[in-house]
């Protein structure tokens, strides 16, 4: 049973490679069927692995004598894996229609499947070496998705993505070398692995190392000051790829930080130190700055990318508070933000696909042309702003309450205030599309109105993501109880 957890990792990677290599995949129906079936099988295999191999540990082999490759499915990994599978399958089916107007589909689906497998591996990684291994491969294999359309802008954005991410990865690697000496083990364990005897006398060194590692992984999560790649890279990718980049791949950075802070250094080691303060300040700056930049951005996809910068730092803020409530909120926001941001990017993609419009001010009357899509857009937007009864409300509630309860001088109220201001800005940058879309104004020419609702390959995935994001808000208790259960152990 234990080898079952390799299947959702290996299967999509092998399928992806075979798509890239095999010539007969030039035939579009064959390509789509293979991809679709692979996506569904991978998701099922992932589910099966979670159910049957949960909590077990698989030592695959040793890179060197002291560096084992370990897979383990723990609760944190499960949350991330579940989110990954849903978003990947939805965005994958959306691509079937969307990618018609792009070239080189074979390459796209190949790398798409490979990235899927690698993300599953990240979720199931049992020690930091395994995590780091797949973290680097993730960067390398997701780059072709970014530069897919081959324009100069895309290639430059792809390279920017690559070098920022690698820079982050190497910062994390720097920490790994030190953890190797000062930790009891490199496996993730609740409460941390730092060896108190060795650490005594080197506390400042280790704190600096922890900070470097947090910064390193936060590059992928788009935290200030290493966020600049994100608004460049996410919008140039094809829309479904932007969706998985923004919804899932940035979360790999979040997962990295969770692992470093709560499973390697341990919350008790970092709580109350300068690392926590500095990290928290950075997250709050990012939350505000991201929203502000999104508010000023006229191109819809770029606006959504800036929104990702801001929203992912909500999660990081929750993690940096290190209070059970706020961490629960953070983990919940991982899920909510994934569904919402994927849905938003897919909506933006559908609009581009059908009308070719990219700027927000061109979207007047879009709600009359594609009402279903814009309803979905509106509902998930409300979720991102944090209006009940959507999922975003619950996660932000926990984030804010957790911050207030943490009792950190100053931050316990500065944090929630920044979150609130950012929520206002979120409304300011998302809702204009809805307002102008549904209420184009008196001078709008209804004669020229054409129904442009896309077909069900596009609408159904968006609909599923929307429904899921609402469901999380309506019935949050199941999830929250589950998350709280394991969060209390690590905080």
Q: What share of the chain is helix, strand, coil (3-state, %, to 5)?
A: 80, 5, 15
The β-bridge partners of 183 are: 194
- Of 43-82, binders to another protein (CB under 8 A) are 61-65, 67
**Window of 92-100, 148-156, 237-245, 378-386 that interacts with another protein by CB under 8 A:** 148-156
- For 71, phi then psi, to 5°, come to -115, 140
# residues near another protein by CB under 8 A:
33
Residue from the set 48, 174, 438, 467 that interacts with another protein by CB under 8 A: 174
Residue from the set 15, 147, 207, 221 that interacts with another protein by CB under 8 A: 147
Orientation angle between helical segments 105-124 and 128-146, nearest 10 degrees: 160
CB of 134 within 8 A of CB of 116?
A: no
For another protein, the closer of residues 24 and 443 by Cβ is 24
Query: Does 163 participate in binding another protein (rule CB under 8 A)?
Result: yes
Pick from 294, 287, 451: nearest CA to 360? 294
For another protein, the closer of residues 163 and 439 by Cβ is 163
Smallest gap from residue 443 Cβ to another protein (A)? 38
Pick from 171, 456, 491: nearest CA to 326? 491
For another protein, the closer of residues 212 and 414 by Cβ is 212
Helices (H), 125-192: 128-146, 152-182
Q: Tell me how far apart the alpha carbons of residues 122 and 127 are, in angstroms, rounded to a whole number.
A: 10
Per-residue binding letters, 180-219, with another protein (x by CB under 8 A):
xx--------------------------------------
Smallest gap from residue 168 Cβ to another protein (A)? 10
Residue from the set 151, 195, 455, 485 that interacts with another protein by CB under 8 A: 151
Residue from the set 1, 29, 177, 445 that interacts with another protein by CB under 8 A: 177
Query: Does 132 participate in binding another protein (rule CB under 8 A)?
Result: yes
Orientation angle between helical segments 324-355 and 391-406, nearest 10 degrees: 150
Per-residue binding letters, 251-280, with another protein (x by CB under 8 A):
------------------------------
CB of 305 within 8 A of CB of 231?
A: yes
DSSP codes of every residue in 261-325: IIIII-HHHHTTSHHHHHHHHHHHHHHHHHHHHHHH--BHHHHHHHHHHHHHHHHHHHHHHT-HH
Q: Tell me how far apart the alpha carbons of residues 183 and 176 are, in angstroms, rounded to a whole number.
A: 10
For another protein, the closer of residues 117 and 367 by Cβ is 117
Q: Is 67 helix (H, G, I), strand (E, B) or coil?
A: strand
Query: Does 170 participate in binding another protein (rule CB under 8 A)?
Result: yes
Per-residue binding letters, 9-48, with another protein (x by CB under 8 A):
----------------------------------------
Q: Is 59 helix (H, G, I), strand (E, B) or coil?
A: strand
Query: Does 101 participate in binding another protein (rule CB under 8 A)?
Result: no
Q: Which residues bind another protein (CB under 8 A)?
A: 61-65, 67, 129, 132-133, 136-137, 140, 144, 147, 149-152, 155, 158-159, 162-163, 166-167, 170-171, 173-174, 177-178, 180-181
């Amino acid at each position: 049973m234990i080898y079952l957890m390799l299947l959702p990792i290996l299967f999509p990677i092998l399928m992806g490679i075979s798509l890239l290599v095999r010539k007969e995949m030039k035939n579009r129906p064959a390509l789509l069927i293979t991809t679709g079936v692979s996506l569904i099988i991978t998701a099922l295999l992932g589910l099966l692995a979670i159910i049957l191999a949960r909590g077990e540990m698989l030592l695959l082999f040793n890179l060197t004598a002291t560096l084992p490759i370990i897979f383990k499915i723990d609760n944190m990994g499960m949350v991330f894996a579940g989110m990954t599978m849903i978003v990947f399958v939805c965005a994958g089916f959306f691509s079937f229609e969307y990618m018609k107007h792009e070239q080189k589909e074979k390459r796209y689906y190949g790398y798409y499947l490979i990235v899927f497998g690698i993300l599953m591996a990240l979720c199931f990684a049992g020690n930091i070496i395994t995590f780091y291994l797949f973290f680097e491969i993730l960067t390398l294999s997701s780059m072709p998705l970014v530069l897919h359309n081959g324009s100069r802008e895309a290639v430059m954005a792809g390279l920017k993505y690559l070098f920022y991410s690698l820079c982050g990865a190497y910062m994390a690697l720097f920490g790994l070398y030190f953890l190797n000496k000062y930790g009891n083990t490199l496996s993730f364990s609740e409460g941390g692995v730092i060896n108190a005897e060795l650490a005594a006398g080197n506390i400042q060194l280790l704190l600096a190392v922890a900070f470097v590692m947090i910064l390193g992984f936060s590059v992928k999560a788009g935290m200030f000051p290493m966020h600049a790649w994100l608004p460049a890279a996410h919008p140039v990718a094809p829309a479904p790829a932007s969706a998985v980049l923004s919804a899932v791949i940035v979360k790999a950075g979040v997962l990295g930080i969770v692992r470093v802070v709560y499973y390697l250094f341990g919350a008790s080691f970092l709580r109350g130190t300068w690392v926590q303060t500095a990290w928290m300040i950075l997250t709050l700056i990012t939350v505000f700055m991201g929203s502000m930049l999104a508010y000023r951005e006229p191109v819809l996809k770029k606006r959504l990318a800036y929104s990702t910068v801001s929203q992912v730092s909500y999660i990081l803020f929750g993690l940096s508070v290190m209070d059970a409530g706020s961490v629960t909120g953070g983990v919940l926001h991982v899920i909510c933000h994934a569904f919402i941001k994927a849905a938003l990017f897919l909506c933006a993609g559908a609009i581009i696909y059908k009308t070719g419009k990219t700027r927000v001010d061109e979207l007047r009357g879009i709600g009359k042309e594609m009402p279903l899509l814009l309803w979905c857009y509106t509902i998930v937007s409300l979720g991102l702003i944090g209006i009940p009864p959507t999922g975003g409300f619950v996660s932000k509630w926990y984030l804010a309450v957790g911050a207030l309860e943490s009792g950190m001088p100053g931050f316990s109220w500065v944090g929630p205030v920044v979150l609130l201001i950012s929520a206002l800005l979120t409304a300011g940058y998302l809702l204009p599309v809805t307002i102008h879309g549904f209420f184009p104004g008196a001078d709008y020419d209804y004669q020229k109105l054409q129904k442009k609702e896309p077909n069900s390959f596009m609408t159904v995935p968006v609909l599923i993501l929307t429904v899921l994001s609402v469901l999380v808000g309506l019935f949050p208790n199941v999830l929250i109880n589950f998350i709280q259960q394991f969060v209390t152990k690590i905080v």
